[in-house]
Amino acid sequence: MSIRILIVDDEPQIVRFLKPALHAAGYQTIVADKGSEALKSAALHAPDLILLDLGLPDIDGKEIIRQLRTWTKVPIVVLSARDRETEKIEALDLGADDYINKPFGIGELMARIRTALRHAAREREYETNIKCGPFEIDIPAHTVTVEGKPIKLTPKEFELLAVLARNAGLVVTHRQILTAVWGPAHTEDLQYLRVFIGQLRQKLKTSTDTAELIQTEPGIGYRLVVE
């Protein structure tokens, strides 16, 4: 069965650009140019992924994310012409899986789509082990190997790496990480998080390849980069 992608954008030129490119990559497409139509299409057609513009004429894109996340885990990749970091952070915290700034290249978009779809497939399976580039994380045993060599992590460092690995290739916001690892009372402890990220990077730095796998998204969060 072909993968169905719902394009939610009110700019005809963007839709004209996206549809043939997605079809050439083997995806089916559904198009909605309003938020209300997008919500109906998501329920009716059950797309495998949604490309969502935040600037819709009737309902703000962030409200679309909020409503979708009450009943579906479908991957949402935001297409944003808004360059404020706060807009991106809010969209991600509401449940978007990734974002890409307009204008964008089709190669980058396709890579983000593939990453979001892979992440959704992993989420549908219960995994006790996560293999991610040079890492292998054994969740029940709380062990991590890098390039086959075991490394010693504190419990919080392990939880932090596990959160990033479960979302490999996707940006995870500061708030999402802090809530998952330390709880909702610590969502503003950014300096605390930076310290732990620094410690984790040092422990994972077994080669030049692993040194930069945890990528900083300035002002937003972190992304575990896996080629």
All structural domains of the chain, each given as residue ranges with its CATH number in brackets, are: 4-123 (3.40.50.2300), 129-224 (1.10.10.10)
pLDDT band at 1 (very low <50, low <70, confident <90, very high): low
pLDDT (0 to 100) of residue 222: 94
Q: Which DSSP string corresponds to the chain?
A: -PPEEEEE-S-HHHHHHHHHHHHHTT-EEEEESSHHHHHHHHHHH--SEEEEES--SSS-HHHHHHHHTTT----EEEEE----HHHHHHHHHHT--EEEESS--HHHHHHHHHHHHHHHHHHTS--SEEEETTEEEETTTTEEEETTEEE---HHHHHHHHHHHHTTTSEEEHHHHHHHHH-GGGTT-HHHHHHHHHHHHHHH-SSTTTTTSEEEETTTEEEE---
Q: How far is CA 132 from CA 6, 15, 210, in A?
A: 28, 34, 11
pTM (predicted TM-score): 0.69
The predicted-structure confidence for 168-188, as pLDDT tens digits, reads as follows 888 899 988 888 888 777 778
**pLDDT mean over 3-23:** 94
pLDDT (0 to 100) of residue 208: 47
Compute the distance between CA of residue 25 and CA of residue 211 in angstroms, rounded to an integer. Answer: 33
pLDDT (0 to 100) of residue 127: 57
Compute the distance between CA of residue 112 and CA of residue 217 in angstroms, rounded to an integer. Answer: 15
The predicted-structure confidence for 80-114, as pLDDT tens digits, reads as follows 877 778 888 899 999 999 999 888 899 999 999 99
- Counting residues of the chain whose pLDDT is more than 90, the rounded percentage is 43
Residue 155 in this model has a pLDDT that exceeds 90: no
The predicted-structure confidence for 40-83, as pLDDT tens digits, reads as follows 999 888 899 999 999 899 999 999 999 998 888 899 999 987 77
